[in-house]
Amino acid sequence: MKSMIWGAVIAACLTISVNASADVIEVAQDGLLFIPSEVIIQQGDTVRWIWGNGAHTVTSGAGLFDPNMASLFDFPLDAVNTTAEYTYDGPPGEYPYFCIPHFFLGMTGNVTVLPAETTGTEEATWSQVKALFQ
C-alpha cells in the first residue's frame, strides 16, 4: 500500500515536471519576508516578485558583502514598482537574492534553478525529482 502511494506521488511529480514550457513563479513580499523565500524552478522559468508593503529591493547576490551583488538584477519593489521579474536562463544552480535596506534584518531569498527539460525522457525527469530531495 505504501509503495502504491509513493508511486502515485512520483507519477504526479513526473507529470508536473514533464511540462517543459517556461513557467512564471510568483513570490510575494510582506513585511520583511519573501514568500516563499525558497523556490525551485527550471532553467528558462521566470520569477515574479509582487510588492505587498513598504519599500524594498530585489537584488541578486548573497548579501551586501557579495562582490557580485546586483550583477544579475537590482529591482526596486515599492508602491511605484509593484512587480519585478527575472528570467533565469543562465546555468543551473543556486541564485540567492536579498533586499538591500533590510539585508541585515534577514530579508533574503533563494532560487534553485534545475536544468531545463531536454527531451523530457523519464531518466532526465527522475534525476530532477531526486534533485529536489538532495
For the CA atoms of 130, 18, 8, 131, what is the dihedral angle to 10 degrees?
Answer: 10
Q: Which of 41, 107, 111, 113 binds Cu ion (CB under 5 A)?
A: 107
**Residue 95 in contact with residue 111, Cβ under 8 Å?**
yes
Which is closer to Cu ion, CB of 48 or CB of 102?
Answer: 102
- Judge whether 105 and 32 are in contact, CB under 8 Å: yes
User: Which region, judged by CB under 5 A, interacts with Cu ion, from 19-27, 42-50, 55-63, 89-97?
Assistant: 55-63
Q: Choose which of 99, 111, 113, 114 interacts with Cu ion (CB under 5 A).
A: 99
Q: Binding residues for Cu ion, how many (CB under 5 A)?
A: 4
Position among 40, 102, 124, 126 found at the interface with Cu ion (CB under 5 A): 102
**Which element (helix H / strand E) includes 88?**
none
Please identify, using beta-carbon distances, which residue of 19 and 53 lies nearer to Cu ion. 53
- Interaction site with Cu ion (CB under 5 A): 56, 99, 102, 107
